[in-house]
Structure 1
Amino acid sequence: MSKSVARLKSMKKVADKIDHSSKLRTNIPAGMAAAGPPLGPMLGQRNINIAAFCKDFNERTANIKQGTPLPTRVKVNSDRSYQLVIHQPPASYFLKQAAGVSRAAMEPVRETCGKITLKHLYEIAKIKQQDPPLEWRPLKEVCVMLIATARSCGIEIVKELDPKEYGEFLEERKKIVEEQKKMLQEKREAKMLRTA
Protein backbone atom coordinates (compact mmCIF):
# COMPACT_ATOMS: atom_id res chain seq x y z
CA MET A 1 0.00 0.00 0.00
CA SER A 2 2.80 2.42 0.87
CA LYS A 3 4.49 1.79 -2.50
CA SER A 4 1.34 2.77 -4.39
CA VAL A 5 1.00 5.94 -2.27
CA ALA A 6 4.62 6.83 -3.02
CA ARG A 7 4.01 6.29 -6.74
CA LEU A 8 0.94 8.51 -6.65
CA LYS A 9 2.92 11.29 -4.94
CA SER A 10 5.74 11.05 -7.49
CA MET A 11 3.21 11.08 -10.34
CA LYS A 12 1.57 14.17 -8.84
CA LYS A 13 4.93 15.96 -8.76
CA VAL A 14 5.45 15.15 -12.44
CA ALA A 15 1.93 16.32 -13.27
CA ASP A 16 2.52 19.63 -11.45
CA LYS A 17 5.59 20.35 -13.59
CA ILE A 18 3.71 20.02 -16.90
CA ASP A 19 2.78 23.40 -18.34
CA HIS A 20 -0.81 23.38 -19.59
CA SER A 21 -0.90 27.00 -20.71
CA SER A 22 -2.08 27.55 -24.24
CA LYS A 23 -1.09 30.20 -26.72
CA LEU A 24 -3.25 33.28 -26.70
CA ARG A 25 -4.51 33.96 -30.23
CA THR A 26 -6.42 37.20 -30.71
CA ASN A 27 -6.75 40.28 -32.90
CA ILE A 28 -5.76 43.53 -31.23
CA PRO A 29 -6.13 46.96 -32.88
CA ALA A 30 -2.72 48.56 -33.48
CA GLY A 31 -1.74 51.04 -30.76
CA MET A 32 -4.99 50.47 -28.87
CA ALA A 33 -4.22 47.65 -26.44
CA ALA A 34 -6.03 48.45 -23.18
CA ALA A 35 -6.39 46.69 -19.84
CA GLY A 36 -10.18 46.51 -20.16
CA PRO A 37 -12.24 43.74 -21.64
CA PRO A 38 -11.84 41.67 -23.75
CA LEU A 39 -8.01 41.76 -23.66
CA GLY A 40 -7.54 42.30 -19.90
CA PRO A 41 -9.37 39.15 -18.73
CA MET A 42 -7.61 36.99 -21.35
CA LEU A 43 -4.21 38.18 -20.12
CA GLY A 44 -5.23 37.92 -16.45
CA GLN A 45 -6.20 34.25 -16.86
CA ARG A 46 -2.68 33.54 -18.08
CA ASN A 47 -0.98 35.51 -15.26
CA ILE A 48 0.52 38.12 -17.60
CA ASN A 49 1.22 41.62 -16.29
CA ILE A 50 -1.54 43.45 -18.17
CA ALA A 51 -0.09 46.97 -17.97
CA ALA A 52 3.36 45.85 -19.15
CA PHE A 53 1.84 43.85 -22.02
CA CYS A 54 -0.31 46.77 -23.20
CA LYS A 55 2.66 49.15 -23.06
CA ASP A 56 4.89 46.67 -24.95
CA PHE A 57 2.26 46.02 -27.62
CA ASN A 58 1.48 49.71 -28.14
CA GLU A 59 5.20 50.55 -28.47
CA ARG A 60 5.76 47.77 -31.02
CA THR A 61 2.77 48.88 -33.11
CA ALA A 62 3.37 52.64 -32.90
CA ASN A 63 4.47 52.83 -36.56
CA ILE A 64 1.26 51.14 -37.83
CA LYS A 65 -1.98 53.04 -38.53
CA GLN A 66 -3.96 53.13 -35.29
CA GLY A 67 -6.95 50.79 -35.23
CA THR A 68 -5.60 48.32 -37.80
CA PRO A 69 -6.50 44.80 -36.58
CA LEU A 70 -3.35 42.76 -35.94
CA PRO A 71 -3.45 39.00 -35.33
CA THR A 72 -1.37 38.48 -32.21
CA ARG A 73 0.08 35.29 -30.74
CA VAL A 74 1.29 35.26 -27.13
CA LYS A 75 3.15 32.30 -25.61
CA VAL A 76 3.35 32.44 -21.83
CA ASN A 77 6.46 31.09 -20.07
CA SER A 78 6.37 29.52 -16.61
CA ASP A 79 8.07 32.60 -15.05
CA ARG A 80 5.13 34.86 -16.19
CA SER A 81 7.18 36.29 -19.05
CA TYR A 82 5.78 36.05 -22.55
CA GLN A 83 6.79 35.90 -26.18
CA LEU A 84 4.78 38.27 -28.37
CA VAL A 85 4.44 37.62 -32.12
CA ILE A 86 2.53 40.21 -34.16
CA HIS A 87 1.40 39.19 -37.65
CA GLN A 88 0.42 41.36 -40.61
CA PRO A 89 -3.25 42.45 -40.70
CA PRO A 90 -5.74 39.82 -41.95
CA ALA A 91 -6.05 39.26 -45.70
CA SER A 92 -9.69 40.38 -45.66
CA TYR A 93 -8.61 43.74 -44.21
CA PHE A 94 -6.09 44.29 -47.03
CA LEU A 95 -8.58 43.18 -49.69
CA LYS A 96 -11.31 45.52 -48.42
CA GLN A 97 -8.80 48.40 -48.23
CA ALA A 98 -7.64 47.77 -51.80
CA ALA A 99 -11.24 47.57 -53.04
CA GLY A 100 -12.19 50.74 -51.13
CA VAL A 101 -15.06 49.12 -49.22
CA SER A 102 -15.79 48.98 -45.51
CA ARG A 103 -18.02 45.89 -45.51
CA ALA A 104 -17.85 42.59 -47.31
CA ALA A 105 -20.84 41.30 -49.28
CA MET A 106 -23.73 39.71 -47.38
CA GLU A 107 -24.15 37.10 -50.13
CA PRO A 108 -20.62 36.73 -51.58
CA VAL A 109 -21.44 34.46 -54.51
CA ARG A 110 -24.47 36.44 -55.69
CA GLU A 111 -23.25 39.99 -55.15
CA THR A 112 -20.00 41.90 -55.67
CA CYS A 113 -18.99 44.46 -53.07
CA GLY A 114 -15.78 45.62 -54.77
CA LYS A 115 -13.12 44.96 -57.36
CA ILE A 116 -9.33 44.79 -57.27
CA THR A 117 -6.71 44.20 -59.95
CA LEU A 118 -4.21 41.37 -60.18
CA LYS A 119 -1.49 43.86 -59.26
CA HIS A 120 -3.29 44.62 -55.97
CA LEU A 121 -3.53 40.90 -55.29
CA TYR A 122 0.17 40.38 -55.97
CA GLU A 123 1.19 43.25 -53.64
CA ILE A 124 -1.06 41.95 -50.85
CA ALA A 125 0.42 38.45 -51.33
CA LYS A 126 3.95 39.83 -50.95
CA ILE A 127 2.94 41.51 -47.67
CA LYS A 128 1.10 38.43 -46.33
CA GLN A 129 4.05 36.19 -47.21
CA GLN A 130 5.99 37.89 -44.37
CA ASP A 131 3.71 36.26 -41.77
CA PRO A 132 5.36 33.35 -39.90
CA PRO A 133 2.80 30.72 -41.04
CA LEU A 134 3.18 31.71 -44.71
CA GLU A 135 6.84 32.68 -44.98
CA TRP A 136 7.92 29.34 -46.47
CA ARG A 137 5.03 29.02 -48.89
CA PRO A 138 5.52 30.00 -52.52
CA LEU A 139 3.95 33.26 -53.66
CA LYS A 140 1.63 31.37 -56.00
CA GLU A 141 0.04 29.49 -53.06
CA VAL A 142 -0.43 32.73 -51.13
CA CYS A 143 -2.12 34.27 -54.20
CA VAL A 144 -4.48 31.29 -54.49
CA MET A 145 -5.39 31.67 -50.80
CA LEU A 146 -6.04 35.38 -51.32
CA ILE A 147 -8.26 34.67 -54.34
CA ALA A 148 -10.37 32.35 -52.18
CA THR A 149 -10.58 34.97 -49.43
CA ALA A 150 -11.57 37.64 -51.96
CA ARG A 151 -14.30 35.39 -53.34
CA SER A 152 -15.66 34.77 -49.83
CA CYS A 153 -15.72 38.55 -49.20
CA GLY A 154 -17.50 39.22 -52.50
CA ILE A 155 -14.54 41.01 -54.08
CA GLU A 156 -14.02 40.46 -57.80
CA ILE A 157 -10.49 40.25 -59.24
CA VAL A 158 -10.08 41.87 -62.67
CA LYS A 159 -7.14 42.49 -65.02
CA GLU A 160 -7.75 46.22 -65.43
CA LEU A 161 -9.94 48.70 -63.58
CA ASP A 162 -11.31 51.98 -64.97
CA PRO A 163 -11.44 54.58 -62.13
CA LYS A 164 -14.61 56.34 -63.41
CA GLU A 165 -16.56 53.13 -63.85
CA TYR A 166 -15.41 51.87 -60.46
CA GLY A 167 -16.42 55.15 -58.80
CA GLU A 168 -19.92 54.76 -60.27
CA PHE A 169 -19.98 51.13 -59.10
CA LEU A 170 -19.09 52.19 -55.53
CA GLU A 171 -21.83 54.86 -55.53
CA GLU A 172 -24.40 52.23 -56.55
CA ARG A 173 -22.97 49.89 -53.94
CA LYS A 174 -23.49 52.49 -51.17
CA LYS A 175 -27.23 52.50 -51.92
CA ILE A 176 -27.34 48.69 -51.75
CA VAL A 177 -25.45 48.69 -48.43
CA GLU A 178 -27.89 51.23 -46.95
CA GLU A 179 -30.83 49.04 -47.99
CA GLN A 180 -29.15 45.99 -46.42
CA LYS A 181 -28.53 47.90 -43.18
CA LYS A 182 -32.21 48.96 -43.03
CA MET A 183 -33.30 45.37 -43.65
CA LEU A 184 -31.02 44.08 -40.87
CA GLN A 185 -32.28 46.76 -38.48
CA GLU A 186 -35.91 45.79 -39.24
CA LYS A 187 -35.07 42.13 -38.54
CA ARG A 188 -33.47 43.06 -35.21
CA GLU A 189 -36.48 45.17 -34.22
CA ALA A 190 -38.87 42.37 -35.19
CA LYS A 191 -36.87 39.91 -33.11
CA MET A 192 -36.91 42.29 -30.13
CA LEU A 193 -40.72 42.58 -30.41
CA ARG A 194 -41.08 38.79 -30.42
CA THR A 195 -38.91 38.33 -27.31
CA ALA A 196 -40.52 41.18 -25.36
Structure 2
Amino acid sequence: MSKTFGRKMVKKLTEKIDHSSKLRVNIPAGLASSAPPLGSQLGQRNINIVNFCKDFNERTANIKEGIPLPCRVKVHSDRTYDLVIHNPPATYFLKQAAGIQKAKMKKGEVAGKITLKHLYEIAKIKAEDPPQALLSLENVCKMLVGIARTCGIEIVREIDPEEYKQFLKEREEAIAQYREELRLAKESKMLRTN
Protein backbone atom coordinates (compact mmCIF):
# COMPACT_ATOMS: atom_id res chain seq x y z
CA MET A 1 0.00 0.00 0.00
CA SER A 2 1.44 3.37 -0.97
CA LYS A 3 1.82 6.26 1.52
CA THR A 4 -0.59 8.57 -0.33
CA PHE A 5 -3.28 5.90 -0.44
CA GLY A 6 -2.88 5.33 3.31
CA ARG A 7 -3.18 9.06 4.04
CA LYS A 8 -6.36 9.31 1.97
CA MET A 9 -7.88 6.42 3.91
CA VAL A 10 -6.99 8.03 7.22
CA LYS A 11 -8.41 11.33 6.01
CA LYS A 12 -11.70 9.66 5.07
CA LEU A 13 -11.92 7.79 8.35
CA THR A 14 -11.23 10.78 10.58
CA GLU A 15 -14.19 12.97 11.24
CA LYS A 16 -14.15 16.47 9.89
CA ILE A 17 -13.41 18.98 12.66
CA ASP A 18 -15.78 21.91 12.85
CA HIS A 19 -13.90 25.13 13.51
CA SER A 20 -16.90 27.41 13.17
CA SER A 21 -18.00 29.28 16.24
CA LYS A 22 -21.45 29.32 17.73
CA LEU A 23 -23.75 31.87 16.21
CA ARG A 24 -24.76 34.42 18.84
CA VAL A 25 -27.52 36.68 17.60
CA ASN A 26 -30.55 38.62 18.86
CA ILE A 27 -33.67 37.79 16.87
CA PRO A 28 -37.05 39.51 17.38
CA ALA A 29 -39.66 37.01 18.58
CA GLY A 30 -41.78 35.69 15.72
CA LEU A 31 -39.94 37.82 13.13
CA ALA A 32 -37.07 35.62 11.95
CA SER A 33 -36.64 36.08 8.20
CA SER A 34 -34.16 35.16 5.51
CA ALA A 35 -33.29 38.83 5.01
CA PRO A 36 -29.87 40.10 6.09
CA PRO A 37 -28.24 40.07 8.57
CA LEU A 38 -29.76 36.81 9.87
CA GLY A 39 -30.06 35.11 6.46
CA SER A 40 -26.44 35.73 5.55
CA GLN A 41 -25.20 34.60 8.99
CA LEU A 42 -27.15 31.34 8.66
CA GLY A 43 -26.03 30.86 5.05
CA GLN A 44 -22.36 31.17 6.02
CA ARG A 45 -22.86 28.26 8.40
CA ASN A 46 -24.73 26.11 5.82
CA ILE A 47 -28.00 26.15 7.75
CA ASN A 48 -31.26 25.78 5.82
CA ILE A 49 -32.50 29.36 6.30
CA VAL A 50 -36.19 28.74 5.59
CA ASN A 51 -36.39 25.79 8.02
CA PHE A 52 -34.51 27.73 10.71
CA CYS A 53 -36.83 30.75 10.41
CA LYS A 54 -39.91 28.52 10.50
CA ASP A 55 -38.56 26.63 13.55
CA PHE A 56 -37.68 29.85 15.41
CA ASN A 57 -41.00 31.53 14.66
CA GLU A 58 -42.94 28.45 15.82
CA ARG A 59 -40.94 28.24 19.06
CA THR A 60 -41.51 31.94 19.80
CA ALA A 61 -45.17 32.07 18.79
CA ASN A 62 -46.29 32.41 22.44
CA ILE A 63 -44.03 35.46 23.01
CA LYS A 64 -45.08 39.01 22.13
CA GLU A 65 -43.90 39.70 18.58
CA GLY A 66 -40.81 41.88 18.24
CA ILE A 67 -39.24 41.25 21.66
CA PRO A 68 -35.49 40.75 21.11
CA LEU A 69 -34.37 37.24 22.09
CA PRO A 70 -30.69 36.33 22.42
CA CYS A 71 -30.10 33.03 20.60
CA ARG A 72 -27.19 30.61 20.50
CA VAL A 73 -26.97 28.31 17.50
CA LYS A 74 -24.52 25.38 17.39
CA VAL A 75 -24.16 23.89 13.91
CA HIS A 76 -23.33 20.21 13.39
CA SER A 77 -21.42 18.74 10.43
CA ASP A 78 -24.62 17.23 8.99
CA ARG A 79 -26.16 20.75 8.73
CA THR A 80 -28.44 20.22 11.72
CA TYR A 81 -28.30 22.69 14.56
CA ASP A 82 -29.08 23.17 18.23
CA LEU A 83 -31.01 26.36 18.93
CA VAL A 84 -31.05 27.77 22.46
CA ILE A 85 -33.34 30.77 23.02
CA HIS A 86 -32.68 32.89 26.11
CA ASN A 87 -34.91 35.40 27.87
CA PRO A 88 -34.80 38.96 26.49
CA PRO A 89 -31.69 40.99 27.40
CA ALA A 90 -31.56 42.75 30.78
CA THR A 91 -31.56 46.16 29.06
CA TYR A 92 -34.92 45.31 27.45
CA PHE A 93 -36.49 44.47 30.83
CA LEU A 94 -34.96 47.51 32.54
CA LYS A 95 -36.16 49.92 29.84
CA GLN A 96 -39.64 48.34 29.88
CA ALA A 97 -39.85 48.67 33.67
CA ALA A 98 -38.70 52.30 33.47
CA GLY A 99 -41.18 53.03 30.66
CA ILE A 100 -38.52 54.32 28.27
CA GLN A 101 -37.49 53.47 24.71
CA LYS A 102 -34.01 55.01 24.71
CA ALA A 103 -31.25 54.74 27.31
CA LYS A 104 -29.16 57.73 28.36
CA MET A 105 -27.74 59.93 25.62
CA LYS A 106 -25.20 61.91 27.68
CA LYS A 107 -22.96 61.01 30.59
CA GLY A 108 -24.65 61.53 33.96
CA GLU A 109 -28.14 61.75 32.47
CA VAL A 110 -31.03 59.99 34.22
CA ALA A 111 -33.04 58.25 31.50
CA GLY A 112 -35.58 56.61 33.79
CA LYS A 113 -36.29 55.15 37.22
CA ILE A 114 -37.29 51.75 38.57
CA THR A 115 -38.02 50.48 42.06
CA LEU A 116 -36.15 47.81 43.99
CA LYS A 117 -39.17 45.54 43.45
CA HIS A 118 -38.78 45.93 39.66
CA LEU A 119 -35.10 45.06 39.98
CA TYR A 120 -35.86 41.94 42.04
CA GLU A 121 -38.53 40.70 39.59
CA ILE A 122 -36.19 41.19 36.62
CA ALA A 123 -33.41 39.38 38.52
CA LYS A 124 -35.70 36.38 39.09
CA ILE A 125 -36.33 36.15 35.33
CA LYS A 126 -32.68 36.64 34.32
CA ALA A 127 -31.51 34.06 36.89
CA GLU A 128 -33.21 31.40 34.71
CA ASP A 129 -30.83 32.06 31.79
CA PRO A 130 -28.06 29.45 31.39
CA PRO A 131 -25.19 32.01 31.63
CA GLN A 132 -26.47 33.07 35.08
CA ALA A 133 -27.17 29.52 36.29
CA LEU A 134 -24.29 29.54 38.78
CA LEU A 135 -24.97 33.04 40.13
CA SER A 136 -27.00 33.68 43.26
CA LEU A 137 -30.05 35.95 43.04
CA GLU A 138 -28.06 38.59 44.95
CA ASN A 139 -25.27 38.49 42.35
CA VAL A 140 -27.79 38.75 39.50
CA CYS A 141 -29.28 41.81 41.25
CA LYS A 142 -25.80 43.38 41.53
CA MET A 143 -25.19 42.70 37.85
CA LEU A 144 -28.52 44.36 36.98
CA VAL A 145 -27.65 47.41 39.10
CA GLY A 146 -24.52 47.87 36.96
CA ILE A 147 -26.46 47.46 33.72
CA ALA A 148 -29.12 49.93 34.93
CA ARG A 149 -26.41 52.46 35.77
CA THR A 150 -24.93 52.06 32.28
CA CYS A 151 -28.36 52.71 30.73
CA GLY A 152 -28.93 55.76 32.94
CA ILE A 153 -31.72 54.10 34.93
CA GLU A 154 -31.88 55.12 38.57
CA ILE A 155 -33.02 52.58 41.18
CA VAL A 156 -35.22 54.08 43.92
CA ARG A 157 -37.35 52.78 46.80
CA GLU A 158 -40.61 54.35 45.61
CA ILE A 159 -41.87 56.22 42.56
CA ASP A 160 -44.60 58.86 42.68
CA PRO A 161 -46.68 58.14 39.53
CA GLU A 162 -47.57 61.79 38.80
CA GLU A 163 -44.01 62.99 39.34
CA TYR A 164 -42.65 60.21 37.13
CA LYS A 165 -45.20 60.94 34.41
CA GLN A 166 -43.94 64.54 34.33
CA PHE A 167 -40.31 63.30 34.28
CA LEU A 168 -41.03 61.05 31.26
CA LYS A 169 -42.78 63.92 29.44
CA GLU A 170 -39.75 66.19 29.95
CA ARG A 171 -37.45 63.38 28.81
CA GLU A 172 -39.45 62.90 25.59
CA GLU A 173 -39.05 66.62 24.87
CA ALA A 174 -35.29 66.35 25.52
CA ILE A 175 -35.02 63.36 23.15
CA ALA A 176 -36.94 65.24 20.43
CA GLN A 177 -34.62 68.24 20.85
CA TYR A 178 -31.54 65.96 20.73
CA ARG A 179 -32.78 64.29 17.53
CA GLU A 180 -33.43 67.69 15.95
CA GLU A 181 -29.88 68.80 16.83
CA LEU A 182 -28.51 65.62 15.24
CA ARG A 183 -30.60 66.18 12.11
CA LEU A 184 -29.38 69.78 11.78
CA ALA A 185 -25.76 68.73 12.32
CA LYS A 186 -26.14 66.05 9.65
CA GLU A 187 -27.69 68.52 7.19
CA SER A 188 -24.91 71.07 7.75
CA LYS A 189 -22.32 68.35 7.18
CA MET A 190 -24.06 67.35 3.93
CA LEU A 191 -24.03 70.98 2.74
CA ARG A 192 -20.30 71.26 3.44
CA THR A 193 -19.49 68.15 1.43
CA ASN A 194 -21.49 69.21 -1.66
Please report the TM-score for the alignment, with normalisation by the length of structure 1: 0.91
1:71-90 to structure 2, matched below 5 A, reads 71-90=70-89
Which deviates more from structure 2 when the two are superposed, residues 8-17 or residues 32-41? 8-17
User: Is 1:179 aligned with 2:177?
Assistant: yes
Q: 1:117 aligns with which of 115, 118, 126?
A: 115
| Residue segments in structure 2 that go unaligned for 5+ positions in a row | none
1:58 match: 57
Task: Report the CA distance between 1:190 and its aligned residue.
Answer: 2.8
Q: Could you list the per-position Cα deviations for residues 164-186 of structure 1 after superposition, in whole angstroms to 9, with x for gaps in the alignment?
A: 11011111111111111111212
| Aligned equivalents of 1:77, 1:91: Cα separation in 2 | 30
For residues 65-110 of structure 1, the C-alpha deviation after alignment (integer angstroms, 9 at most, x for no partner) is: 1000000100001111100000000110100000000100112x42
Q: CA deviation at 1:21?
A: 2.0
Q: What is the CA–CA distance in structure 2 between the aligned matches of 1:181 and 1:25, rounded to whole Å? A: 31
Q: Which residue of 2 aligns with 1:34?
A: 33
Unaligned runs of 5+ in 1: none
Distance 1:82 1:194 in 2: 50
- The reply to whether residue 43 of structure 1 matches residue 71 of structure 2 is no
Distance 2:185 2:95 in 1: 26
Identity among equivalent positions (%) equals: 63
Displacement after TM superposition at 1:18 (Å): 1.3
Does the residue aligned with 1:84 lie in a helix, a strand or coil?
Answer: strand
SS of 1:26 mapped into structure 2: strand
**Number of aligned positions between the proteins:** 193
The alignment yields a C-alpha RMSD, in angstroms, of 2.0
